[in-house]
Amino acid sequence: MVEAKRATKADLKRVDSIIADYRGQRWGLVPLLHELQGALGYIPPEAIPRIARGLDLFPSQVQGVITFYTQFYTAPRGKNIVRVCRGTACHVRGGKTILKLVKQHLGIEEGENTPDLKYTLETVACIGVCALAPNIVINKDTHGHMNPKKVARLFSRKD
Ligand code: FES
Protein backbone atom coordinates (compact mmCIF):
# COMPACT_ATOMS: atom_id res chain seq x y z
CA MET A 1 0.00 0.00 0.00
CA VAL A 2 1.12 3.54 -0.71
CA GLU A 3 1.58 5.26 2.62
CA ALA A 4 -0.93 7.92 3.53
CA LYS A 5 0.38 11.46 3.74
CA ARG A 6 -1.50 14.30 5.29
CA ALA A 7 -1.51 17.57 3.42
CA THR A 8 0.53 20.28 5.11
CA LYS A 9 -0.83 23.76 5.86
CA ALA A 10 1.19 25.01 2.91
CA ASP A 11 -0.38 22.35 0.68
CA LEU A 12 -3.88 23.39 1.75
CA LYS A 13 -3.05 27.04 1.16
CA ARG A 14 -2.02 26.08 -2.35
CA VAL A 15 -5.22 24.05 -2.75
CA ASP A 16 -7.34 27.04 -1.71
CA SER A 17 -5.52 29.38 -4.04
CA ILE A 18 -6.09 27.04 -7.00
CA ILE A 19 -9.75 26.58 -6.06
CA ALA A 20 -10.15 30.38 -5.96
CA ASP A 21 -9.41 30.51 -9.70
CA TYR A 22 -12.33 28.16 -10.41
CA ARG A 23 -14.81 29.28 -7.77
CA GLY A 24 -18.38 28.45 -8.75
CA GLN A 25 -17.31 27.01 -12.11
CA ARG A 26 -18.41 23.40 -12.09
CA TRP A 27 -17.00 22.82 -15.58
CA GLY A 28 -13.60 23.64 -14.13
CA LEU A 29 -13.37 20.50 -12.00
CA VAL A 30 -11.10 18.47 -14.31
CA PRO A 31 -8.73 21.37 -15.12
CA LEU A 32 -8.63 22.24 -11.42
CA LEU A 33 -7.70 18.66 -10.52
CA HIS A 34 -4.97 18.66 -13.18
CA GLU A 35 -3.59 21.95 -11.88
CA LEU A 36 -3.68 20.74 -8.30
CA GLN A 37 -1.97 17.46 -9.12
CA GLY A 38 0.62 19.36 -11.16
CA ALA A 39 1.32 21.60 -8.15
CA LEU A 40 1.40 18.96 -5.39
CA GLY A 41 2.07 15.73 -7.30
CA TYR A 42 -1.23 14.27 -6.07
CA ILE A 43 -4.67 15.30 -4.86
CA PRO A 44 -4.75 15.26 -1.07
CA PRO A 45 -8.00 13.68 0.20
CA GLU A 46 -8.39 16.72 2.50
CA ALA A 47 -8.76 18.84 -0.64
CA ILE A 48 -11.92 17.07 -1.79
CA PRO A 49 -14.45 18.81 0.53
CA ARG A 50 -12.76 22.15 -0.15
CA ILE A 51 -13.00 21.63 -3.91
CA ALA A 52 -16.64 20.58 -3.57
CA ARG A 53 -17.48 23.74 -1.60
CA GLY A 54 -15.59 25.94 -4.03
CA LEU A 55 -17.29 24.56 -7.12
CA ASP A 56 -20.71 24.04 -5.54
CA LEU A 57 -20.59 20.27 -5.94
CA PHE A 58 -21.02 17.32 -3.60
CA PRO A 59 -17.78 15.76 -2.32
CA SER A 60 -18.98 12.47 -3.83
CA GLN A 61 -19.07 14.12 -7.27
CA VAL A 62 -15.47 15.28 -6.89
CA GLN A 63 -14.43 11.85 -5.63
CA GLY A 64 -16.27 10.22 -8.53
CA VAL A 65 -14.32 12.22 -11.11
CA ILE A 66 -11.01 11.48 -9.37
CA THR A 67 -11.84 7.77 -9.37
CA PHE A 68 -13.03 7.80 -12.99
CA TYR A 69 -9.83 9.28 -14.45
CA THR A 70 -6.92 6.94 -13.87
CA GLN A 71 -4.40 9.77 -14.16
CA PHE A 72 -5.50 11.31 -10.84
CA TYR A 73 -3.85 10.10 -7.64
CA THR A 74 -4.88 10.72 -4.05
CA ALA A 75 -1.54 9.58 -2.62
CA PRO A 76 1.96 10.86 -3.40
CA ARG A 77 3.90 9.00 -6.08
CA GLY A 78 7.58 8.63 -6.72
CA LYS A 79 9.51 10.79 -9.15
CA ASN A 80 10.09 7.65 -11.26
CA ILE A 81 7.28 5.20 -11.92
CA VAL A 82 8.59 1.65 -12.42
CA ARG A 83 6.18 -0.78 -14.05
CA VAL A 84 7.08 -4.45 -14.29
CA CYS A 85 5.13 -6.34 -16.94
CA ARG A 86 3.10 -9.26 -15.63
CA GLY A 87 1.73 -10.29 -19.03
CA THR A 88 1.96 -13.91 -20.14
CA ALA A 89 4.97 -13.55 -22.45
CA CYS A 90 6.95 -11.69 -19.80
CA HIS A 91 5.82 -14.14 -17.14
CA VAL A 92 7.03 -17.21 -19.03
CA ARG A 93 10.36 -15.52 -19.74
CA GLY A 94 11.16 -14.75 -16.13
CA GLY A 95 9.05 -11.70 -15.34
CA LYS A 96 8.32 -13.02 -11.87
CA THR A 97 12.04 -13.13 -11.04
CA ILE A 98 12.53 -9.65 -12.51
CA LEU A 99 9.75 -8.31 -10.28
CA LYS A 100 11.31 -9.99 -7.25
CA LEU A 101 14.71 -8.45 -8.05
CA VAL A 102 13.27 -4.98 -8.62
CA LYS A 103 11.50 -5.24 -5.25
CA GLN A 104 14.78 -6.22 -3.61
CA HIS A 105 16.71 -3.37 -5.23
CA LEU A 106 14.13 -0.77 -4.30
CA GLY A 107 13.24 -2.30 -0.93
CA ILE A 108 9.52 -1.89 -1.56
CA GLU A 109 6.55 -3.97 -2.60
CA GLU A 110 4.22 -3.45 -5.51
CA GLY A 111 2.08 -0.32 -5.03
CA GLU A 112 4.60 1.31 -2.69
CA ASN A 113 6.93 4.31 -2.90
CA THR A 114 10.52 4.37 -1.75
CA PRO A 115 10.78 6.54 1.41
CA ASP A 116 12.63 9.26 -0.56
CA LEU A 117 9.83 9.24 -3.17
CA LYS A 118 12.36 8.49 -5.88
CA TYR A 119 10.45 5.43 -7.10
CA THR A 120 6.95 3.99 -7.18
CA LEU A 121 6.65 0.31 -8.09
CA GLU A 122 3.68 -0.99 -10.05
CA THR A 123 2.89 -3.94 -12.28
CA VAL A 124 1.05 -3.83 -15.58
CA ALA A 125 -0.54 -6.27 -17.96
CA CYS A 126 1.06 -6.66 -21.39
CA ILE A 127 2.60 -3.43 -22.66
CA GLY A 128 2.62 -4.63 -26.27
CA VAL A 129 6.27 -5.45 -26.83
CA CYS A 130 6.17 -9.15 -25.98
CA ALA A 131 9.06 -9.91 -28.37
CA LEU A 132 11.33 -8.09 -25.91
CA ALA A 133 10.06 -10.00 -22.86
CA PRO A 134 10.62 -9.75 -20.00
CA ASN A 135 10.03 -6.01 -19.92
CA ILE A 136 9.93 -3.20 -17.44
CA VAL A 137 8.98 0.42 -18.06
CA ILE A 138 10.50 3.31 -16.17
CA ASN A 139 8.46 6.43 -16.77
CA LYS A 140 8.17 6.41 -20.57
CA ASP A 141 11.18 4.20 -21.34
CA THR A 142 10.77 0.50 -22.03
CA HIS A 143 13.62 -1.79 -21.01
CA GLY A 144 13.42 -5.15 -22.74
CA HIS A 145 15.18 -8.50 -22.41
CA MET A 146 15.55 -7.83 -18.72
CA ASN A 147 17.88 -10.01 -16.68
CA PRO A 148 19.39 -9.72 -13.19
CA LYS A 149 22.42 -7.74 -14.42
CA LYS A 150 20.25 -5.21 -16.23
CA VAL A 151 18.05 -4.80 -13.15
CA ALA A 152 21.14 -4.14 -11.02
CA ARG A 153 22.46 -1.64 -13.56
CA LEU A 154 19.17 0.26 -13.78
CA PHE A 155 18.72 0.63 -10.06
CA SER A 156 22.28 1.27 -8.95
CA ARG A 157 22.40 4.59 -10.82
CA LYS A 158 23.08 7.60 -8.64
CA ASP A 159 20.52 9.90 -10.30
S1 FES B 1 3.52 -9.75 -21.91
FE2 FES B 1 4.96 -8.27 -21.35
S3 FES B 1 5.03 -7.01 -23.07
FE4 FES B 1 3.52 -8.46 -23.61
Identity of the amino acid at 158: K
Q: Give 67-118 pLDDT, tens digit per residue.
A: 999 889 998 899 999 999 999 999 999 999 999 999 999 999 999 999 999 9
**What own/partner pairs with CB < 8 Å and gap ≥ 24 does 57-65 have?**
57/26, 57/29, 61/29, 62/29, 65/29, 65/30, 65/33
The answer on pLDDT for 159 being more than 80 is no
Q: Which residues line ligand 1 (CB under 6 A)?
A: 85, 87-90, 126-130, 133, 135
Give the pLDDT confidence score for residue 141 in this predicted structure: 96
CB atoms within 10 A of CB 10: 9
The pLDDT assigned to 156 comes to: 82
Nearest CA to ligand 1 atom 3: 130
- What pLDDT score does 153 carry? 95
- Can you give the pLDDT at residue 22? 97
Give residue 4's pLDDT. 55
